[in-house]
Amino acid sequence: MARTWKLDRWKWRNRPPRTVSTAENGFSKQSDVARLNGTREDLRLVRGQDSVSIRGEVRAGDRSVPGEGGLVVNNPENWLIRELRDPVTQEPLQVSSDGTQLCNARGGVVARMIAGIPRFVSDEHLESFGLQWTTFDVAHDDEDRQTFAAKTGVALELLSGKRILDAGCGGGRYAKVCAEAGGLVTAADHSRAVEKARDLCRELNSVQFVQADLKHLPLQPGGYDLVFSIGVMHHDVNTRQVFDAVAAMVRPGGRYSVWLYRRNQWWQELINSSLRAITTRLPAKCLLPFCHLGAILGGTPIINRTLNKIISFSAHPCYQNRVCDTYDWWAPKYQHHHTAAELKSWFREAGFERIEELPPEKSGSVYQRLWKWNLLPGSGVNVTGIRRTDPVSAAGSGNPKKSPS
């Protein structure tokens, strides 16, 4: 009996997609493929750039068979595939017949499908992030929602129906937050962390992942209501180039929020640079024990509020987060620190207005003073702005609205 039930459950989970008639909703022909969840007739359909709720009749449809590591081409869960572009020419891409490659109109292979994810790049100098995000489980739903709102200036209840780009998604925590809030999310990362992120969001069809260089995203510029990047750009050889490339993805009137490492006092920068000259050359198996030591210190009272102002280690309440955050500080090849004035100037020069520095997520008078005096290693500069709709208008500033636009 148990074996029969498992077989029936397997058949149900692997049932073919369905096509839905949308005539009663003003559409004159069969819609794109949609999948029923249980016996529900209320469906959520992605049609191009729009997401619409429909009801209708259901009948069996066709399903393309993927090759090894490929994808189901006609499955609406793969809606991102239809939006991907050649990063160089911006021409649309086509899926190969076996579902394992993305090709341009001339048949040239632009990207490969590996484990169902489009891969335009390999890890390269960001290999440590692939290890970091696939090793540690650091997602905490309530904390992640609070952090997202604090570091983007956007209220979660206003994300529904918005097109969102998570530039440097890492393990997918904030992509998950946006998708659960009703956003249609494209999440990009240069590393194989996209695999962990995909697993974290496996129940959410409204978020899709792509492994790509943020300086050469395979996406249509100006196509997103909200673009955010939290703690990522400073790990590239040139932070400004990444900032400008990602800024191009924001539509006129859309919001752009960026969090970068803050530049500390000169003596802290000197200590950090000297130590990182050693730690960035260590293999992971040698560096991780020191990160565990940092995690122990980060959980030790008094030490976690004093010593970590000189040598950076995490004081997060969760041990695994402390190890991950400490590794994130000492392992990456590149780590640039910036000032609020510098980041604001980038926003102005990229055509944004209503530019505002967001306050730190943590409160407390002592913390706020140390933050203002640039005495907190690992703290950030966090700026948000709105892309101008009129290119002639002057850039301005003011309190950011708690919405993507």
Per the domain annotation, does 270 fall within a domain? no
Give the structural domain span for 90. Answer: 76-119
Longest dimension (CA), the chain: 72
Q: Give the Cβ contact number of residue 204 at 10 Å.
A: 17
The reply to whether 23 and 109 lie within a common domain is no
Domain-embedded: residue 133? yes
4 domain residue, yes or no: no
DSSP per residue over 180-232, as a string?
Answer: HTT-EEEEEESSTHHHHHHHHTTT-TTEEEEE--GGG-SS-TT-EEEEEEES-
Q: Indicate the pLDDT class of residue 390, thresholds 50, 70 and 90.
A: confident
Question: What dihedral do alpha carbons 323, 137, 238, 350 form, nearest 10°?
Answer: -130
Same domain for 140 and 231, yes or no, is yes
Looking at the structure, tell me whether residues 341 and 227 fall in a common domain. Answer: yes
pLDDT tens digits for range 115-140: 999 999 987 555 555 566 567 888 89
Nearest CA-CA partner of 323 in 297, 295, 304, 296: 295
User: 404 and 226 in contact (C-beta within 8 Å)?
Assistant: yes
Q: Could you read off the pLDDT of 167-187 as tens digits, one per residue? A: 999 999 999 999 999 999 999
* Domain match, 225 and 174 both: yes
Same domain, 42 and 26: yes
Query: What average pLDDT does the segment 240-250 reach?
Result: 98
The verdict on residue 362 lying in a domain is: yes
Over residues 43-63, mean pLDDT = 29
Evaluate whether 126 touches 194 at the Cβ level (below 8 Å): no
Same domain, 221 and 144: yes
Residues 176, 103 within the same domain = no
Q: Does residue 398 belong to any structural domain of this protein?
A: no
Domain-embedded: residue 233: yes
Q: Is the pLDDT assigned to residue 23 strictly greater than 80?
A: no
The answer to whether position 309 is within a domain reads yes
pTM as predicted: 0.78
The phi and psi torsions of 249 (rounded to 5 degrees) equal -80, -10
d(CA 167, CA 116): 19
Whether residues 248 and 207 fall in one domain: yes
Give yes or no for residue 53 having a pLDDT over 90: no
CA angle 270/273/275 to nearest 5° reads 105
What's the pLDDT score for residue 77? 55
Across the chain, mean pLDDT equals 81
The CATH number assigned to the domain holding 138 equals 3.40.50.150
Q: Does residue 396 fall inside a structural domain?
A: no
pLDDT, one tens digit per residue, over 198-224 is: 999 999 999 999 999 999 999 999 999
What long-range pairs does 234-241 form, CB within 8 A, spacing at least 24? 234/260, 234/261, 234/334, 234/335, 234/336, 234/337, 234/338, 235/126, 235/129, 235/332, 235/333, 235/334, 235/335, 235/336, 236/334, 237/125, 237/334, 239/336, 239/338, 240/346, 241/215
114 and 145 belong to one structural domain: no
Residues 112 and 210 in one domain: no
Q: Are residues 171 and 91 in the same domain?
A: no
CA 285 to chain centre: 27
Same domain, residue pair 40 and 165: no
Looking at the DSSP bridge assignments, the partners of residue 365 are none
Whether the pLDDT of residue 71 is over 70: the answer is no
Residue ranges with strand state E in 6-142? 18-21, 30-34, 43-47, 50-54, 58-60, 94-95, 101-103, 109-114, 117-119
What's the total number of domains in the chain? Answer: 4
Taking only the tens place, the pLDDT of each residue in 74-116 is 454 578 888 999 999 999 999 998 889 999 989 899 999 999 9
pLDDT band at residue 149, thresholds of 50, 70 and 90?
Answer: very high
